[in-house]
Structure formats: C-alpha cells, structure tokens
C-alpha cells in the first residue's frame, strides 16, 4: 500500500528534529527498522542542513519534503533558494590527516552512503533532491 506525506518547515537547523520526527513516524509505521530509519534521517539531515546554511543567504526560506512509501521510500527535498546541485560536490578525502582535513564537506558523502539512490534536478524554480531508500 502506498502512502504519501508532506511537510514544510522553515529552512533552519532548529527544524532538523521536526524533519527527523516526520521521517521516524512515516518509516516506523511502514515497517522499516531502526537502523534504516536513522540512515534516512541522517541523509535528510545532511541535505536539509545544507539548505538551511546556504540556500537562502540573507533571507528566510522553506524546505518542503514530499515522502512516498511503497516498495521503498522516496523523499523529495525541495527548496526555492539559490540553485545548487549537491550531488556534483567532490567527495572528501577520508585518509587526510586531521590537520589537512577541512571542517565540513561530509554531508553529500553521507547521503550517498546511506540511501540507495540520489538525484537532483532544478525544476520550476526549485532545487529538488530525491533520495530513495529501498526495503531490505
């Protein structure tokens, strides 16, 4: 049985718990296990933190998440901030010494690790990041 849900929050890191709860409730009722839920929460947090920090310089904006659960989970994370494709960002070196490692840059790497598919499009003035998590 497919289930669709949506949520809109202000693009602030303070809203991360709201997004995490939205994902938890949807995935828990859809039969995903705790680890799968945390993996998707982490991927969503990384994406939404990026939006909160960089998408709306000097102004307030929103993050809109559309979730669809069927055979797997599909999350469309949308914002109408500065056009930006996070999937194009280079993956950070993981062997660098502490002194060489820049602070940050891990978000997209964690997203790609913890969901099964990541895609981006700029559509109708919105950045749309699509995350897919298949059932185990």
Structure tokens at 121: 């499009």
CB 67 within 8 A of CB 73: yes
**What is d(CA 60, CA 19) in angstroms, rounded to the nearest whole number?**
17
| Interacting residue with another protein among 4, 5, 33, 35 (CB under 8 A) | 35
Q: Is 42 in the site for another protein (CB under 8 A)?
A: yes
For residue 39, the minimal CB distance to another protein (Å) is 8
**What is d(CA 30, CA 27) in angstroms, rounded to the nearest whole number?**
5
Q: Is 52 in the site for another protein (CB under 8 A)?
A: yes
**H-helix or E-strand containing 11?**
none
**What is d(CA 127, CA 71) in angstroms, rounded to the nearest whole number?**
25
For residue 57, the minimal CB distance to another protein (Å) is 18
What is the binding site for another protein (CB under 8 A)?
Answer: 13-14, 16-17, 20-21, 24-25, 28-29, 34-35, 38, 41-42, 45-46, 49, 52, 92-99, 101, 103-104, 106-107, 109-110, 113
């Amino acid at each position: 049985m497919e289930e669709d849900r949506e949520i809109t929050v202000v693009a602030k890191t303070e809203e991360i718990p709201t997004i995490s709860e939205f994902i938890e409730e949807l995935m828990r009722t859809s039969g995903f296990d705790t680890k799968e839920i945390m993996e998707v929460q982490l991927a969503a947090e990384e994406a939404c933190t990026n939006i909160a920090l960089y998408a709306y310089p000097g102004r307030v904006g929103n993050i809109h998440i559309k979730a669809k659960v069927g055979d797997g989970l599909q999350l469309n994370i949308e914002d109408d901030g500065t056009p930006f494709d996070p999937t194009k960002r280079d993956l950070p070196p993981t062997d660098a010494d502490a002194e060489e490692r820049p602070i940050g840059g891990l978000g997209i790497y964690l997203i790609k690790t913890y969901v099964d598919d990541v895609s981006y499009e700029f559509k109708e003035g919105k950045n749309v990041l699509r995350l897919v998590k298949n059932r185990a």
